[in-house]
Structure 1
Amino acid sequence: MNPIKSLFLFLLFSLVIISAPQQAVASVILQYHHVSTDTPPSTSISPTQFEKHMRYLKEQGFTVVPLSTIVNAVKNNTAMSDKLVAITFDDAYLDILTHGKPILDAFNYPYTIFVNPSLVEAKRPDYLSWEQLKMMAEQGAIIANHGWQHQSLTRVPDGVAPDMWLAQYEQDLRRAEQAIKDNVGQSYRYFAYPYGEYTPEIQRWLAENQFVGFSQQSGAVGLTTDLTAIPRFPASQPYDKLSGLRDKLNSLPFAISLSEQDNQTIYRHQTVNSVTFHVEVEDFKPSQLNCYVSGLGKQKIDWVSDSSFQITFSDHLPIGRVRCNCTAPSLSQAGRYYWYSKPWFITKRDGSWYPL
């Protein structure tokens, strides 16, 4: 071949490689509570269905890794393999050991349990003991922090100043971390928000105290994920069907940012009517973006610029824990969706909280 032509083809090929967009890779964290048929359905998955979940992961080529593998990749901004999955349980129920662990062991899957030490030390018959948790830790489980008690950070008690409440919670959080270290020999400084409730102020406080925060809104994890609000997909009922799990496991991290005002999470009922998202991904068609809000359904999307869109809610956000889930099919990876979830915690008009 003519040397000049060879050089031209080489340069052209190099240009294509350099300019080609890198495909997004994703990790997904699954959240469970009970593995049982005798516990509240909203926080339970049957052992039979849990086994189907674990088998599906294996058959579809997902790699189940310790939670620390995903967190460390985000922390250090290091290359992350695609299709990584971490399995987590909240609340340290006994059935995780009796029903969940045998299934996990059969597939040799690592997992994480978020515990409330005060409940462990109360020696309730439906909770794991320190001895059981230590045994599970020695066999590869991560035991992490869910707060000393199962108590929301956002709900400041009457008559207590917010800064005093956070100071008290900080002591309880450190106390819980120390109890985990003393009893099972681990201290990852991972914290799952009780009830998934948090605020931007709490996120800053958590970062200042060198904790990684895990939320309960859905979404995939990527290198730009905020380490104070790492999303997890609920996988218990009614979200335990394999058809829905498939889409979640194949989701991609939707890099979206919000203004300081739109990043707020707590509003009184009927005091917020819109939100604006700033998108940092181009691998989708704006016309294929869909957003759904709890209790309101699909919302109208108005693009206010090439990279920002606004939702004016079709009605008032309902009182309670509310989510806006936005998804869009990837152009470069057929069958996969970018997925982002924004939470709100809507109090009553007088500022009082909805029941837990």
Structure 2
Amino acid sequence: MKSLKAILVHFLLTLFVIAVPAQASVILQYHHVSEDTPASTSITPQQFAKHMQYLADNDFKVLALNNVIDAIKQQKPLPDKSVVITFDDAYLDILENAKPILDKHQFPFTIFINPGIVDKGSDHYLTWPQLKAMADDGVIIANHGFEHESWARVPNDMNINTWLAQKIALLKKAEKKIKAETGQSWQYFAYPYGEFSPRIQQLLEQQQFIAFSQQSGAVGLHTDLTSVPRFPASQPYDKLSSLKDKINALPISMSISDKDAQTIYTQGSLTHLTMTVNSKDFRQHQLNCYVTTLGKQPIEWLDDKSFTVTFTKPLPTGRVRSNCTAPSIEKPGRYYWYSKPWFILNKDGSWYPH
């Protein structure tokens, strides 16, 4: 029989776990809010309104992006059930269709823009005066690169160091332009197409930029600020049933070797992934990992913290992700969620189309 002291200690620890706020937030990524734009980057205004209404009806705290990033930098607790709303590309329908819905709920949001594209002018893109008015209204205007060009695709005829210097110069040019036109300079950068490499991550960290990716996952105090995950919420991921799981997701601290941290592979060259998990709030047998087009993959636990995912087939060419999830013991109904992205080239080393 347990002693009274042991029972008391267990009780106090339980109270502590319950009292400590979850170190978690979720960032949603949208593009178009329209019925007349490509489905793969769009959500209808009606469905977007349902997303926002669900957040409002279920007591989610919609935070400005800088609130979450500052908390991570300062290692301060993130409010439980907190969500950030972001858009990639300066589409006019964000202003026409999304902003009225967001304003109705007084939800803050961020737009990642390409100044070079805005400069060209288009009936489908926001103008600088429109962006300035939105910035003055509290919208965060952030960097998506000067043009919408990949930060992973090094041209075959160019020295990589020359190419990297050009990319940084364009990044700074974009940031300077955003500052001049909107008065804002957050040094937040969203990878175009979500494509990046460890070398790019290191370079952005040296330039003191926070970088946002497109792989799924919740955000926590251990989140790598050179690849902050965001949940895509446009079609085909716009159903409320899947949104509910995402916005209730919990972050899990995973570590991988430098070798496994690579993101760019030729088809057939990557066969497995080994990760170390820093959490005991789930049961090993309940961890599942799913890979794009391959489905659920076999997991072998190497010890009480490390496991290997072995792929049953070669990873397909293109943007590929492994999503690993496990139900929380302490927070029933909520799942830990970690995503690892890869960019799989053709067998001859050429890039897949955008």
TM-score range, shorter chain: over 0.9
Question: Structure 1 residue 50: deviation in Å?
Answer: 0.4
Question: Structure 1 residue 16: deviation in Å?
Answer: 4.2
The reply to whether residue 252 of structure 1 matches residue 250 of structure 2 is yes
| 3-state SS in 2 of match to 1:172 | helix
| 3-state SS in 1 of match to 2:103 | helix
Q: Does the CA contact (< 8 Å) of 1:34 and 1:43 recur in 2?
A: yes
Corresponding residue number in structure 1 for 2:76: 78
Q: Does the CA contact (< 8 Å) of 1:30 and 1:85 recur in 2?
A: yes
Corresponding residue number in structure 2 for 1:187: 185
2:208 alignment partner AA: Q
Question: Structure 1 residue 28: deviation in Å?
Answer: 0.3
CA distance in 1, matches of 2:140, 2:21: 31
| 3-state SS in 1 of match to 2:130 | helix
Q: Which of the numbers 148, 151, 157 marks the counterpart of 2:149?
A: 151
The reply to whether residue 202 of structure 1 matches residue 200 of structure 2 is yes
Q: Does the CA contact (< 8 Å) of 1:25 and 1:83 recur in 2?
A: no
CA distance in 2, matches of 1:77, 1:26: 12
Question: Structure 1 residue 158: deviation in Å?
Answer: 2.3
Corresponding residue number in structure 1 for 2:118: 120
Corresponding residue number in structure 2 for 1:27: 25
Render the CA deviation track for 1:40-77: whole Å, top value 9, x for unaligned: 00000000000000000011110001000110011111
Question: Structure 1 residue 115: deviation in Å?
Answer: 0.2
TM-score by length of 1: 0.95
Question: Structure 1 residue 234: deviation in Å?
Answer: 0.3
Corresponding residue number in structure 1 for 2:348: 350
Percent identity of equivalent pairs: 56
Question: Structure 1 residue 230: deviation in Å?
Answer: 0.3
Q: Which of the numbers 114, 132, 136 marks the counterpart of 1:138?
A: 136
Question: Structure 1 residue 24: deviation in Å?
Answer: 3.8
Corresponding residue number in structure 2 for 1:267: 265
Q: Which of the numbers 225, 229, 232 marks the counterpart of 2:230?
A: 232
Q: Which of the numbers 283, 286, 290 marks the counterpart of 1:285?
A: 283
2:165 alignment partner AA: A
Change in CA separation of 1:300 and 1:12 when aligned onto 2, cut-off 3 Å? closer
CA distance in 2, matches of 1:128, 1:9: 66
CA distance in 1, matches of 2:222, 2:12: 23
| 3-state SS in 2 of match to 1:253 | coil
Q: Does the CA contact (< 8 Å) of 2:320 and 2:344 recur in 1?
A: yes
Corresponding residue number in structure 2 for 1:335: 333
CA distance in 1, matches of 2:22, 2:59: 17
Q: Which of the numbers 104, 108, 125 marks the counterpart of 1:106?
A: 104
Corresponding residue number in structure 2 for 1:17: 12
Q: Does the CA contact (< 8 Å) of 2:22 and 2:79 recur in 1?
A: no
Structure 2 unaligned spans of 5+: none
1:222 alignment partner AA: G
1:74 alignment partner AA: I
1:342 alignment partner AA: K
Q: How does 1:305-344 map to 2 (within 5 A)?
A: 305-344=303-342
Structure 1 unaligned spans of 5+: 1-7
Aligned residues: 349
CA distance in 1, matches of 2:136, 2:54: 27
Deviating more after overlay: 47-56 vs 154-163? 154-163
Corresponding residue number in structure 2 for 1:5: none
CA distance in 1, matches of 2:8, 2:68: 34
Change in CA separation of 1:72 and 1:232 when aligned onto 2, cut-off 3 Å? same
Question: Structure 1 residue 9: deviation in Å?
Answer: 6.8
Render the CA deviation track for 1:152-172: whole Å, top value 9, x for unaligned: 010011211111111000000
CA distance in 2, matches of 1:139, 1:27: 24
| 3-state SS in 1 of match to 2:175 | helix
The reply to whether residue 58 of structure 1 matches residue 53 of structure 2 is no
Corresponding residue number in structure 2 for 1:4: none
| 3-state SS in 1 of match to 2:99 | helix
Deviating more after overlay: 73-82 vs 213-222? 73-82
CA distance in 2, matches of 1:137, 1:16: 49
Off by >3 Å, runs of 4+ in structure 1: 8-16, 18-25
TM-score by length of 2: 0.96
CA RMSD of aligned residues (A): 1.5
CA distance in 2, matches of 1:152, 1:185: 26
